[in-house]
Chains A and B, each alone.
Chain A
Amino acid sequence: MPQMSMIEAIRDAMDVKMGQDDDVVVYGEDVGYFGGVFRCTHGLQKKYGKHRVFDSPINESGIVGTAIGMGAYGLRPCIEIQFADYIYPAYDQIVSEAARLRYRSNKDFIAPLTIRTPCGGGIFGGQTHSQSPESLFTHVAGIKTVIPSNPYDAKGLLIAAIEDNDPVIFFEPKRLYNGPFDGHHDRPASNWSKHPLGDVPEGHYTVPIGKASVFSEGSDVTILTYGTMVYVAEAAKKETGIDAEIIDLRSLMPLDVDTIVESVSKTGRCMVLHEATQTSGFGAELAAQVQERCFYNLESPVVRVCGWDTPYPHAQEWDYFPGPGRVGKELKAMMEAE
């Protein structure tokens, strides 16, 4: 199997779908000739032509709005918002339009679009290149929200998203583009070429939307997480020796409640871990689900470890980022709690 970075896997997913289906079009800011600021669409314009892969004006509302129009015509746009931090101008088109089109037209029209967007910090991008706004979308009925943590899942989930008839927000943790990142920013970066999850099959395959994966089995505590934090959890597990079961949710909406319940019922403890700010974050939904479904199995309160409730700072990035030190400390405290 070819070894791919997350960037290559994402590109390959679009390549596979564009090759199979003439209705798939790809566009966004700097996406066409240049191939995107993270190079995810590099080479696609050359291969499929300017009428299927093109640069868009710097107008996020327009990128999503045109995609909804194209979807109504019958195309399957896979569009890029350059950074998740710039998705807000498109929020109205996503929330009031894409999310509700099927419902309000009684299936007369659908919005089969995929919105790819890099999220998360770890690159000293400051508050406009670091945010994780997933909960702003999981809160909205009618949108699916996915967030892969590795090249294999990225390709399979992106193909599934493009094939899905509902609008899908596809978050790409930018700190994982080139390799897994466990939060130890002062250590040399690793890349996907040496990682089993960098093994990506050629051609078509899907990872189903709505299925979590058990990233690492364990018996002491369940860590519910996704994106970059999967590797942070893994590092904390190693460093504390606490036998955590790490669940990579992959899909936040729909949510794989069965996998969550099965794991928490087994371990009796649950940590919710995400990079986004804590208050009203997706972790609140996860904690509520666990409380509702696993209350009598819990041996200690559900704990949230998240980004602090501040804007994402520039220089204090590593104080903000919930790294393995903080996760490990909380894990130990949980294990001591009766």
Chain B
Amino acid sequence: MSEYKPLKFHVPEPTGRPGDEPDFSGVIIPEAGSVRRPSIDTHAADMKELASTMVRVLNKDGEAVGPWAEGLDDDILVQGLKNMIRVRAYDERMMTLQRQGKTSFYMKCTGEEAIAVGFRAAMQKGDMNFPTYRQQGLLLSTDYPVVDMICQILSNSRDPLKGRQLPIMYSSKEHGFFSISGNLGTQFIQAVGWAMASAIKGDTKIAAGWIGDGSTAETDFHAALVNASVYKPPVVLNIVNNQWAISSFRGIAGGDHATFAERALGYDFPALRVDGNDFLAVYAASKWAVERARRGFGPTLIEWVTYRVAPHSTSDDPSQYRPKEESSAWPLGDPILRLKNHLIKRDLWSEERQTQTEAQYNDEIRAATKEAESYGVMGSGASPKDMFDDVYEEMPPHLREQRQKLGV
């Protein structure tokens, strides 16, 4: 008889399912200000613990503390708050459009606004993001016309992508926003390639890759890390760990006990794990990694710890797979509220200005939506003719023939 007991198949489980009390006791949150800030040329081996802990700047009282709090420009913080308010106003409005049947689909980033907005603030013109669908904040914190964004959501006659792409899959080279793919993980490695090109050409531009916790499971994630490891290009690789990938919790991506940031260490480049709902920490860490890349010290992997407050998309119902109260129990709080409280404490902001700003952006987005709707809503604006353009640079004869057959 065998001396071994029968093996058991392990499948990780989240701490709660519908009907359970939310349980975040396993999320270890170090004191704000307790994590050191190494110099940007530090070797991966000399800053390993930063992949396992969590960089935090705002303490419970809303004060900015510790080494990562130093040298943060007040104007950028105020602008960051405004941009986050704008992103949230935009998301709410687009959800309404979807519910009214004016577009087919939408995805919100509620609770995750600080990450894209804070990171964008650390970038320069000419840098390139390879975003996921949940990084609308990257575009909304630039001067990209919001009307154009809404036209894309509506697939109307002014849609910059001519109705070809699913709503939210924006593209703007000029604004450092690479065309979004619906296929997960594919763009993480492309960011590495863009950064390699910048180094090959002796440029000073950097790239940023974006991926969700669930999508780190894709093979392309490994491709990105190994190429970043080998060529040390100027790239920041961002993992947005919002705890969920549709119905699968982070453990199904191998992130139950190990952190996502720790993966960089095996590839010999540094990683930061950061409180993604703390705008100051986001901005400080982004600045560190962007500067490191631009100074030629190579790639950084950043894990942004946050929570997906919204449903995955307009096709999703999270009450089917996670505790109802989980988002309100999330221990890192709301990024807008936290930054607002901090700025009020420092007399850089007030409740009044908060109310005014919310109203201002609601008005802005409402007006922009109205204008966008005047160019048509879903199904009434994009031209069938546009379907055949841009498949190739020059339309081959068979497509010309097919277009004629359709009579457009």
Q: Which residues of B contact A (CB under 8 A)?
A: 8-9, 11, 17, 104-105, 155, 159, 163-167, 169, 181-185, 214-215, 217-220, 245-248, 252-254, 315, 320-321, 378-379, 381-384, 386-388, 391, 398-399, 402, 406, 408
Of listed B11, B167, B184, residue having the most chain A CB within 10 A: B11
Is A311 in contact with chain B by the CB < 8 A criterion? yes
Out of B104, B169, B215, B246, which one reaches A37, CB within 8 Å?
Answer: B246
Q: Please determine whether B402 and A309 come into contact, CB atoms closer than 8 angstroms.
A: yes
A–B complex contacts, Cβ < 8 Å, 5 sampled: A86-B183, A124-B104, A279-B398, A308-B406, A315-B382
* Binding-face segment, A56-64, A205-213, A232-240, A291-299: A56-64
Of all chain A residues, which has the CB nearest B159? A315
Within 8 A of B (CB), among A106-161: 124-129
Q: Please determine whether B164 and A315 come into contact, CB atoms closer than 8 angstroms.
A: yes
Of all chain A residues, which has the CB nearest B105? A124
Out of B247, B252, B388, B402, which one reaches A57, CB within 8 Å?
Answer: B252
- In the docked arrangement, what's the CA distance between A61 and B186, Å? 13
- In the docked arrangement, what's the CA distance between A32 and B17, Å? 13
The digit string for A25-36, where 1 denotes a CB below 8 A from any CB of B, is: 000011011100
Is A102 in contact with chain B by the CB < 8 A criterion? no
Min distance, Cβ A160 to any Cβ of chain B, angstroms? 27
Q: Contacts A309-B402, A315-B381 hold; do A33 and B219 have CB atoms under 8 A apart?
A: no
The digit string for A44-76, where 1 denotes a CB below 8 A from any CB of B, is: 000000110011111101100000000000000
Q: Do most interface residues of chain A lie in helix, strand or loop, or is the interface mixed?
A: loop
Min distance, Cβ A243 to any Cβ of chain B, angstroms? 25
Residues of chain B contacted by A56 (CB below 8 angstroms): 252
- In the docked arrangement, what's the CA distance between A270 and B219, Å? 44
Residues of chain A contacted by B219 (CB below 8 angstroms): 59, 61-62, 89
Residues of chain A contacted by B315 (CB below 8 angstroms): 37
Residues of chain B contacted by A278 (CB below 8 angstroms): 402
Q: In the complex, which range does the number of interface residues on chain A fall in?
A: 35 or more
The digit string for A254-284, where 1 denotes a CB below 8 A from any CB of B, is: 0000000000000000000000001100000
Q: Please determine whether B218 and A59 come into contact, CB atoms closer than 8 angstroms.
A: yes
Q: Please determine whether A34 and B252 come into contact, CB atoms closer than 8 angstroms.
A: no
Residues of chain B contacted by A37 (CB below 8 angstroms): 246, 315
10 nearest A-B residue pairs (beta carbon): A128-B182, A315-B163, A126-B166, A57-B217, A315-B155, A34-B247, A319-B384, A315-B382, A124-B104, A51-B9
Is A20 in contact with chain B by the CB < 8 A criterion? no
